[in-house]
């Protein structure tokens, strides 16, 4: 319990902390208050986060249960970390500290992020400039 009290009193945030924050929607049109996992500090004022949701069934989700915490816990268990969604948020927007994850769970999240970043992209469509270039190439042949 002593570690938890120290955690709640400190102002510094670190990788592995679970916080409550207004998390931005992907189109940046609004935010929703939700738990999030700090995966890094980007500078002295900003933290890099992955959202945590109670809704399962999404690609790359990582199950989060009470036993994954060193201290603290979420009100709902299980929840799911979404490592395929990353946002940078100013530290002043943090509403409260919730807890700290064990290293094993943090490493699982980071490994999944690396896996996502290393996955070859599959273009869903070609940019207009490429299409025009290909048309021009066909006309010359």
Task: Please state, in angstroms and rounded to a whole number, the distance separating the CA atoms of residues 56 and 62.
Answer: 9
Task: Please state, in angstroms and rounded to a whole number, the distance separating the CA atoms of residues 59 and 62.
Answer: 9
> What b-and-e string marks burial along 10-20, b requiring 16 or more CB atoms within 10 Å of the CB?
eeebebbbbbb
pLDDT of res. 122: 74
Q: What is the CATH number of the domain that holds 23?
A: 2.30.30.110
pLDDT in tens, 71-122: 999 988 799 999 999 999 999 999 999 999 999 999 999 999 999 999 887 7
Query: What's the token pair of residue 141?
Result: 């042949």
Between the two ends of the chain, the Cα-to-Cα distance in Å is 75
- The closest of 60, 52, 65, 43 to 20, measured between CA atoms, is 52
pLDDT of res. 8: 47
pLDDT in tens, 18-62: 999 998 777 778 888 999 999 998 888 899 999 999 999 899 999
Number of structural domains (the chain) is: 1
pLDDT of res. 15: 95
pLDDT of res. 140: 63
What sign for the dihedral angle of Cα 29, 35, 38, 39? negative
The residue segments making up the domain with residue 119 are: 2-140
**Residue 71, CA atoms < 13 Å, CB-side half-sphere:** 9
Residue 58 phi, psi (nearest 5): -110, 150
Residue 67 pLDDT greater than 70, yes or no: yes
The C-alpha R_g of the chain, in whole angstroms, comes to 19
Provide mean pLDDT across the span 115-137. 74
């Amino acid at each position: 319990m002593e570690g938890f009290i120290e955690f709640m009193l400190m102002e510094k945030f670190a990788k592995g902390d679970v916080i409550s924050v207004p998390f931005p929607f992907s189109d940046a049109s609004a935010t929703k208050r939700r738990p999030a996992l700090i995966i890094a500090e980007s500078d002295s004022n900003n933290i890099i986060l992955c959202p945590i949701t109670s809704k399962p069934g999404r690609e790359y989700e990582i199950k989060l249960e009470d036993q994954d915490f060193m201290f603290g816990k979420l009100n709902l268990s299980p929840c799911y970390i979404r490592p395929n969604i990353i946002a940078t948020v100013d530290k002043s927007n943090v509403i409260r500290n919730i807890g700290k994850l064990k290293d094993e769970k943090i490493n699982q999240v980071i490994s999944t992020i690396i896996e996502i970043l290393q996955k070859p992209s599959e273009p869903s469509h070609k940019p207009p400039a490429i299409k025009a270039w290909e048309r021009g190439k066909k006309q010359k042949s």
